[in-house]
Amino acid sequence: MRYFLASALIFVVFSSASSPVTGAPLARKDAIAKVQRETQGKVLSAETKQIGRQVIYRIKVLTRDGKVKIIEVPADDRHDVDAR
């Protein structure tokens, strides 16, 4: 249950950025690089999911403190990762 809530919270953080989205959709390799850069962690895996018309990258990261986190980044997200 905690995993689901954490994933939902992370998704909401990414999808509720305040500035408008501009440009082409984010490529998977760019989403991976962004998550790695912003979390300072090691990317373990990444997969692409399609929910309706929306593409979401699901990226598994090993954080610097040894925890594994799943971060979901919408392909239309051009904002920085909120690494809390």
pLDDT of residue 38: 92
pLDDT of residue 77: 73
pLDDT < 50 regions, the chain: 5, 8-9, 12-13, 15-21, 82-84
pLDDT of residue 6: 53
pLDDT of residue 17: 43
Burial class (CB in 10 A: 0-12, 13-18, 19+), 30: middle
pLDDT of residue 82: 46
Q: Specify the pTM.
A: 0.65
